[in-house]
Amino acid sequence: MFLNPYCFTQTVDGYWYGNANVKVNSSANNYLVELILTQKGNNITGVLNYYFKNTFRTLPIRGTFNPHTRLVFIKEIPVSYYGSFMNMDVDCIMDFVATLRVAKVGSSLHGSFESLPKYKYTCPRIDFNLKLSKDAHNQDSLLYAIRTLKETFQVWTPDEADTLVAVKIQPRKVINYVVSNQFKERENELANEIIVDADTVQVDFYDNGEIDGDSISVFLNEQLIAFSQKLSTKAIHFDIPLDMSREYNEIIMFADNLGAIPPNTALMVVNDGKRKYEVRSENRPFLYCRRRTRREGSCSSERN
């Protein structure tokens, strides 16, 4: 007797769980993975949870499912680097690629997290075989799990763990004519004021909503110091020395895009060693912060 795989439902709805193993001979590191998916046509949305060492991550995801090839594809997922230390987590940006295997005894997603081409020698492939849970068809449970991770439910205040930076950037001038020209074309609008009491300030940038590809560029006194930096729940960190010869110093967070889900939900946290100041973009996608050396400062936002 032969069974046609298309006799079974070709859908990836449900809870999928299992181990994921790094494809390196010298590594015994593995990840515990749970994937919660709901499918509409060829599009899938859901939540990816994984536990690695002492780190638990929850990420909203979007991808595609091809019912003919049974291929599941989810683009650019931040996965903790297998060589990360327990007190310093580093992300590898990887694609989720899996094939749906359907059988009477149970369904599975067999595949791997695959690194982007420029990181293929740094971030090795992570293989997995995720099994479908018996709760696969509990749609109410699936939709609730996904709904609670929507943007409006994810406004948060970074704690100490979140300041383990994804990247630390030295504030030196860089050149990108496209970003610089776009910056010059936009107007600034005063939003509020802050006061800082230091010659150097620490500035951290986060995505304050769903991790959906929001990116920013940063200007210091109208000079570009970083561009096209993707935001996440891990900080992009700057230690910025202030020019005391200037009447004021200006730090500008410039939104390169609105992400997959507008608006750009950037959060800037300024720390002068005594106090922290949070500047949220809210519904204003372009935002900057000024610090005047004479204990005056202002944060302003830009509109198109």
The answer to whether residues 215 and 273 belong to one domain is yes
Domain boundary (149, 171, 192) is at 149
177 belongs to a structural domain? yes
Same domain, 256 and 281: yes
Whole-number Å distance between alpha carbons of 145 and 13: 13
Please state the φ and ψ torsions of residue 58, each to the nearest 5 degrees. -125, 120
Judge if 295 and 176 occupy the same domain: yes
Please tell me whether residues 168 and 258 are part of one structural domain: yes
Tens digits of per-residue pLDDT, 245-275?
776 777 777 777 766 666 677 788 888 888 8
Verify that 89 and 172 share a domain, yes or no. no
Are 186 and 142 found together in one domain? no
Q: Is the domain of 296 the same as that of 233?
A: yes
How large is the average pLDDT for residues 9-20? 84
Summarize pLDDT for 47-86 with one digit per residue, the tens: 888 877 766 777 888 999 999 999 999 999 888 888 766 5
Give the end of a domain, one of 92, 127, 149.
149
CA angle (56, 59, 64) in 5-degree steps: 140
CB 223 within 8 A of CB 179: no
Whether residue 154 is contained in a domain is answered as no
Residue 194 lies in a domain: yes
Cα 27 from Cα 114, distance rounded (Å): 17
pLDDT at 112: 95
Burial zone of 34 (CB within 10 Å; 0-12 exposed, 13-18 middle, 19+ buried):
middle
Is 0.75 topped by the overall pTM? no
Q: pLDDT grade, residue 94 (50/70/90)?
A: very high
Claim to verify: residue 44 and residue 179 sit in the same structural domain: no
pLDDT at position 300, please?
46
Residue type for 139, please?
A: Q
Q: Can you tell me the distance from the alpha carbon of 63 to that of 72, in angstroms, rounded to the nearest whole number?
A: 7
Structural domain contains residue 210: yes
Distance from chain centroid for Cα 263:
15
Distance CA 80, CA 89 (A): 6
Q: Do both 178 and 281 map to the same domain? A: yes
Residue 113 lies in a domain: yes
Q: Are residues 142 and 166 in the same domain?
A: no
* Residue 173 within a domain: yes
> pLDDT (tens digit, 9 = 90+) per residue, 137-183?
555 555 555 544 433 323 344 554 444 444 444 455 556 556 667 76
CATH number of the domain at 44, please. 2.40.128
Contact criterion met (CB below 8 Å) for 135 and 15:
yes
Q: Are 81 and 60 in contact (CB under 8 A)?
A: no
| Shared-domain flag, residues 203 and 286 | yes
Instruction: Among 149, 178, 212, give the residue marking a domain's end.
Output: 149
**pLDDT, tens only, 187-237:** 655 555 667 777 788 888 887 766 767 788 888 877 888 777 778 777 788
Output the average pLDDT for the chain: 72
Say whether both 188 and 57 belong to one domain.
no
Number of domains in the chain: 2
Does a structural domain hold residue 58? Answer: yes
Q: Are 167 and 221 in contact (CB under 8 A)?
A: no
Across residues 127-131, what is the average pLDDT?
93
Range of the domain at 88: 5-149
Q: Is residue 123 part of a domain?
A: yes
